[in-house]
Structure formats: structure tokens, C-alpha cells
């Protein structure tokens, strides 16, 4: 396998499909005289007159900022059209896309960022959702007169123990665990290539370590979870970070479940399991019934690979703070708190909302408890489970996390519409959460990598802007800064 070229921002439109747009721009073909005035006036590149062509191209509705933002402006296409051939309106079904956590604006703004690497046009919300609580009711308070900042540092240190390798990533995130089987190999490659380009990491999830990822081994986190699917000495020794998964936020205390349809021969081979059977990852670890056993677990992995950082992924129960302390004393480097509103390939609906607390409440609880114990600066606290945007990441850090783990947003970057049919064999009609040979090629790995890379590029623009406005030089200075946040209270 050839190593991917280091990526830079290149436009990556979803070349097969149109997207779902907030505004609908229409050129009436009978009235249009192809004069090209609209292409000259529109500053948002909705219209294009390709060089050498005499007809105007189909309008790019995804760039439109909407008639109410444009009316009265000198560049309003409708007013400028000499033959009244342009219709600009709202897409009546736009709001039906997405849901409270990922409303249509968040989905389409993520698509836009993934396509262009830039921030979406004004009028499309890219920071918060509509869930009426948590991050969506938490806002930054910007000082009127911030300290001038020369250069903003968005990096994250992944080892704060006095021993072990030093690892620093330039952005405060790494890619969440998604197993081979729950998503396609192309999606895994897309994510890992983007992670490599950004100098960060991406986790294999618990479905084993496909050989195609070996060229990217320096950026692959491998997971040891309760099912022990595909866990081998070789894969642990290859990984710079080994993640032990005790629980997953989207289904805390329930283990994992890969439905039979997605367990193709290749998935079964990597997982060392029988093909076309449903694969259960049990709950809990049957080798860990106490915190002493947990230490044994960490020691075991460390003896297999002394150079790896050990990450522990836990859910957010009542006593999550005690869990964190126990994990610290067992010798972990990274504690990944996975809150209840995170993504999953398949989970009982009842588990997604009702078990374990949202990540917003868990982060400060753990952060402050570790501070009180005097051990906060030796462990890295990573937050995940329902972090959708660059602003969510920054808020999580302000609440007390060191960095964040991102999953669903990377899939939305790949064109996910959040329809929620990932658990079915041929469920994902966008070729993401599937192993079906006909659907997998819909996301070529280089296209996918570019989309995810672009999204993080846009996120970084938002982070730099945010830290500058806060007068902070790095995310390290933002951690635990409750004074920079304002909470409106959940809407009940």
C-alpha cells in the first residue's frame, strides 16, 4: 500500500449526489438568457459561468445564504436578473432533515465544511444544536477587551505522567472507536488517513486491526474490549495507544452487538469469529470484577507493549469520579469519559437516553474530583459522546476535559444523514456503516480522507478564532475555565 500524500484543503464535493439544501435556487430555463450577471453579482458562488461555455451552470444551492439575508443587498441575484428568471426560496422539507441533537443546519454545515474546509455561509448554524440542554444551552462569555494573542496553540498532550513516551497532537481531538464491521474498511481508511494528515489518532474499535491499516500504524489506537475480537499480541505491540473499553456511552452496561448481516467473511476473519452470525461483545469484562483486576489488565497490556500509552474508556455512572481515581491508580495515561448521547452502530433505543449521565455533567464532576485528589495533572481526560462541533469540543475543554474524541461528526463529513439505519446489513445507503460490497465503494478512501481533513480544517479556524476572542494562547489555558461560560439551564 502506498502512503497517502499529506493532505491539504482541496474541495471535495460529494460528486455523485446533490445535497439537501436549506435554500432552493432555481433558474427558469425558458426565461434565462444566459447573460451571466448572476454569476458576477453573487458573492457566495451560487452561480457559475464556466469558461468556454455559453450556458450558466446549474445553481449551487448549498452556497446560498437565503433570500431574507440577501434582500435589499446590491448583490441580490433576483433583483439583478434582467429577465426575472431566478427563484430563491426556502426548502420546505429542510427542517425535517436531522433531529434535535443534529438539526438540519448542523448536518449541512458539516457537509459544507467537509467539502470546502471553510466555514459555512452566514445563516447556517455550525456551532450548536436544538436539544435545549447541555452544550446547546452553554455559551462562551467573551471578554470585551481580550489579551492580545500572537499565536494560538490548539495542541493536546496525551501523556502527562512523568514517564512514558511524550505524544502531542496538533488538534485537541482524536478519532473515536468504530470497528471494522460496523463501518466499512474504506471508512476506516478515510478516518485514519485524515488522522495521519492532522498528526493525530484514530481508534480501530473492537473489531480487530485490518491489515490495510498497518501502514498507518503510528496513528492507530487499537482497542481491547470485552469481546476481545481480533485482539492479538501483534496488534497491541503495533499501537502507540491501547484503549481498554469498559463501556460505551451509547449503550452503557450493555456490551456490543454486530448484527449477522454485517458480519461478512472478511469481518469474521479479522474478528476471528464465525461469519454471518451475530457477534455479541458481553458486558462486563469477565476478567475484571474489581479495581485490582483492572490494574492487572493495565499491567498486562503494558507488559505486552511497554511503549504504549494506556487509555481507558468508561461510561458516566453515578460514581464516575471514583472510577476515574481508580483508573488513575491502576496506571492509565488517558481516561476517556464516554457520555450517553454518543453514536453507535446499533444499540437498544432505551440505552441511548436513559442509562448514565450526559457528558456535560460528567466532565466537571471528574475534573474537580481529580483536582481535589491532587492527581489531575497526571492524567489526560478525554471527553466523548455527543460532541458534534468545534464549539462542543471547546466547551468540553472549558468544562474540564483536556481533549475530545470525535466519531459521528466524521461520519457526517462522509455524507451521513443521521437516518439511523446503521444496524441493518444493507442499511447504510450512503456506504458508511455497511460492509455490503455494492455500497462500500460509494465512499472512496481518498475522498473520505479529504472530507474529514477539510472538516477539521474548518474546525481549527473556529478554534483559533474562539481562543483569540477569549484572549487565550492555548487550549491548556481554557481547561476548567468556568468563568468563561454561561449556562442558560435546560428547557424543560
Partner 1 sequence: MYERYEIPIQLASPPKEAPRRFQVIRGEDCIHCGTCVTACPYGVHLKQEADARLMALPEDDLCVGCQRCVMECPVGVLDIGVHPDFRAIGKGTFRPRVVTRIWDEAASGRIPVSGAGYRGPFVQPGFDAIWTDMSEIVRPTRDGIHGREYISTAVDLGRKPPYLTWEDDEPFPPILEIPVPFLLNPPGAIGRGLEPLVARAAAELGTYAILEASDVRGENGHVIPRFAAEEEVDWDLLDGARAVEVDDAGDGLATYHAIKEARPDLVAFLRMPLRFDAREAYADRIRAGVDVLHLYADPHGREIGPEETRFIAPVLRDLDQYLVEEGLRDEVTILASGGVVASEHVPKALLCGADAVGLDTTYLVALGWNGNPEGGLPSPIRTQWGVQRITNWANACRDQLLEIMGAMGIRDARRMAGEIGRAMFHEDLEREFMALFPGGNGHG
List the interface residues with partner 1, window 10-29 (CB under 8 A): 14, 16-20
Among 68, 296, 353, 469, binds partner 1 (CB under 8 A): 353
Among 198, 209, 328, 341, binds partner 1 (CB under 8 A): 341
Greatest Cα-to-Cα distance within the chain, rounded to the nearest angstrom: 78
* Helix, strand or coil, per DSSP, at residue 52: coil
Query: Shortest gap between Cβ of 429 and partner 1 (angstroms)?
Result: 4
Round to whole Å and give the CA distance between 413 and 110.
6
Round to whole Å and give the CA distance between 134 and 101.
10
Among 294, 302, 376, 479, binds partner 1 (CB under 8 A): 294
**Residue 492 within binding range of partner 1, rule CB under 8 A:** yes
Query: Shortest gap between Cβ of 399 and partner 1 (angstroms)?
Result: 8
Among 109, 200, 344, 454, binds partner 1 (CB under 8 A): 344
* Count of CB atoms situated within 10 Å of the CB of 383: 31
Q: What are the DSSP E strand ranges found in 163-240?
A: 168-169, 173-175, 202-203, 220-224
**Residue 374 within binding range of partner 1, rule CB under 8 A:** no
**Residue 345 within binding range of partner 1, rule CB under 8 A:** yes
Binders of partner 1 among residues 237 to 266 (CB under 8 A) are 246-247, 250, 252-255, 257
**Residue 418 within binding range of partner 1, rule CB under 8 A:** yes
Number of residues that bind partner 1 (CB under 8 A): 99
- Asked if residue 105 lies in contact with residue 159, where contact means CB atoms within 8 angstroms, the answer is no
**Residue 86 within binding range of partner 1, rule CB under 8 A:** no
Among 286, 329, 378, 441, binds partner 1 (CB under 8 A): 286
Strand-pair partners of 383: 337, 404
Sign of the four-CA dihedral 393, 399, 403, 405? negative
Among 417, 435, 462, 468, binds partner 1 (CB under 8 A): 417
Among 93, 142, 300, 329, binds partner 1 (CB under 8 A): 93
If the CB atoms of residues 98 and 121 are measured against partner 1, the closer one turns out to be 98
- Asked if residue 290 lies in contact with residue 282, where contact means CB atoms within 8 angstroms, the answer is no
Of 457, 449, 438, 412, residue with least CA distance to 20: 412
Among 43, 82, 132, 372, binds partner 1 (CB under 8 A): 132
What does the radius of gyration of the chain's CA atoms come to, in whole angstroms? Answer: 23
Amino acid at each position: 500500500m502506498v502512503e497517502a500524500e499529506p493532505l491539504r484543503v482541496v474541495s471535495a464535493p460529494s460528486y455523485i449526489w446533490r445535497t439537501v439544501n436549506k435554500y432552493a435556487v432555481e433558474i427558469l430555463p425558458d426565461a434565462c438568457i444566459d447573460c451571466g450577471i448572476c454569476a458576477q453579482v453573487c458573492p457566495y458562488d451560487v452561480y457559475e459561468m464556466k469558461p468556454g461555455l455559453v450556458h450558466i451552470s446549474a445553481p449551487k444551492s448549498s452556497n446560498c445564504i437565503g433570500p431574507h439575508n440577501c434582500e435589499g443587498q446590491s448583490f441580490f441575484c433576483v433583483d439583478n436578473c434582467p429577465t426575472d428568471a431566478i427563484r430563491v426560496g426556502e426548502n420546505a422539507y429542510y427542517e425535517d432533515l436531522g433531529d434535535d441533537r443534529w438539526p438540519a443546519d448542523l448536518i449541512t454545515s458539516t457537509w459544507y465544511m467537509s467539502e470546502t474546509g471553510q466555514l459555512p455561509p452566514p445563516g447556517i448554524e455550525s456551532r450548536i444544536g436544538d436539544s435545549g440542554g447541555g452544550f446547546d444551552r452553554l455559551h462562551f462569555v467573551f471578554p470585551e477587551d481580550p489579551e492580545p494573542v500572537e499565536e494560538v496553540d490548539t495542541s493536546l498532550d496525551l501523556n502527562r505522567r512523568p514517564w512514558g513516551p511524550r505524544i502531542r497532537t496538533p488538534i485537541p481531538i482524536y478519532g473515536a472507536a468504530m470497528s471494522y464491521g460496523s463501518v466499512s474498511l474504506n471508512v476506516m481508511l478515510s478516518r485514519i488517513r485524515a488522522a495521519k494528515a492532522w498528526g493525530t489518532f484514530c481508534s480501530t474499535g473492537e473489531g480487530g486491526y485490518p491489515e490495510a491499516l498497518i501502514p498507518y500504524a503510528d496513528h492507530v489506537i487499537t482497542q481491547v474490549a470485552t469481546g476481545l475480537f481480533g485482539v492479538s499480541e501483534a496488534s497491541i505491540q503495533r499501537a502507540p495507544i491501547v484503549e481498554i473499553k469498559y463501556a460505551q456511552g451509547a449503550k452503557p452496561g450493555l456490551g456490543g452487538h454486530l448484527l449477522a448481516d454485517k458480519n461478512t467473511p472478511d469481518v469474521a476473519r479479522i474478528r476471528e469469529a464465525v461469519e454471518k452470525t451475530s457477534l455479541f461483545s458481553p458486558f462486563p469484562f469477565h476478567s475484571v470484577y474489581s479495581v485490582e483486576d483492572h490494574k492487572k489488565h493495565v499491567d498486562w497490556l503494558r507488559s505486552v507493549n511497554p511503549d504504549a500509552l494506556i487509555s481507558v474508556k468508561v461510561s458516566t455512572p453515578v460514581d464516575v469520579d471514583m472510577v476515574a481515581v481508580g483508573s488513575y491508580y491502576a496506571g492509565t495515561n488517558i481516561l476517556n469519559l464516554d457520555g450517553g448521547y454518543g453514536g453507535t452502530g446499533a444499540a437498544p433505543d432505551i440505552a441511548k437516553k436513559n442509562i448514565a449521565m450526559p457528558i456535560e455533567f460528567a466532565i466537571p464532576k471528574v475534573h474537580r474530583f481529580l483536582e481535589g485528589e491532587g492527581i489531575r495533572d497526571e492524567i489526560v481526560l478525554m471527553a466523548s459522546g455527543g460532541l458534534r462541533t468545534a464549539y462542543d469540543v471547546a466547551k468540553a475543554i472549558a468544562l474540564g476535559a483536556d481533549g475530545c474524541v470525535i466519531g459521528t461528526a466524521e461520519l457526517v463529513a462522509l455524507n451521513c444523514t443521521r437516518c439511523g439505519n446503521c444496524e441493518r446489513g444493507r442499511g447504510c445507503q450512503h456506504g458508511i456503516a455497511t460492509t455490503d460490497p455494492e455500497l462500500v465503494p460509494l465512499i472512496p478512501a481518498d475522498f473520505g480522507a479529504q472530507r474529514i481533513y477539510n472538516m477539521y480544517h474548518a474546525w481549527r479556524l473556529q478554534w483559533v478564532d474562539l481562543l483569540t476572542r477569549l484572549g487565550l494562547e492555548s487550549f491548556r489555558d481554557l481547561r476548567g475555565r468556568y468563568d468563561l461560560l454561561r449556562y442558560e439551564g435546560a428547557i424543560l
